[in-house]
Amino acid sequence: MVKNSRNGWDIKKPHAWRPCGHAQTKAEAIRLAREICRKEKAECIIHSEDGKFEVYDSYGRCLDASRYMKTSPFKGFVNWMSKLFQSIMHSSRFRQ
């Protein structure tokens, strides 16, 4: 969810140039974005007016490194990514 350059707020999917939704107020846009993410089991990233990362909500599956630990090419990388992801999730949920 990002601030529209002209008016209101746009809800965009990752790597999309066109918005999949629009709202006049930020509260309405948050509600709409979360509704879309729940339906699609996706991640919801909310940005502030200046474009900075504000809130991250996940309605999908979280990275589970335990199932990949037995495969040697991914063992170290997946463990590292899992720890990084968990630290980002922890810090972003409590930062405000």
User: Measured on CA atoms in the order 10, 30, 16, 3, is the torsion positive or negative?
Assistant: positive
pLDDT of residue 23: 93
pLDDT of residue 93: 55
Are 46 and 30 in contact, with CB atoms under 8 Å apart?
Answer: yes
Structural domain spans, the chain:
1-60, 62-96
Tens digit of pLDDT for each residue in 78-91? Answer: 666 677 777 777 66
Average the pLDDT over 37-61 and give the result. 82
Question: Does the predicted model carry a pTM greater than 0.75?
Answer: no
pLDDT of residue 22: 92
Percent of the chain, pLDDT > 90?
Answer: 16
In the chain, % helix, strand, coil (3-state, to 5) comes to 40, 20, 40
pLDDT of residue 27: 92
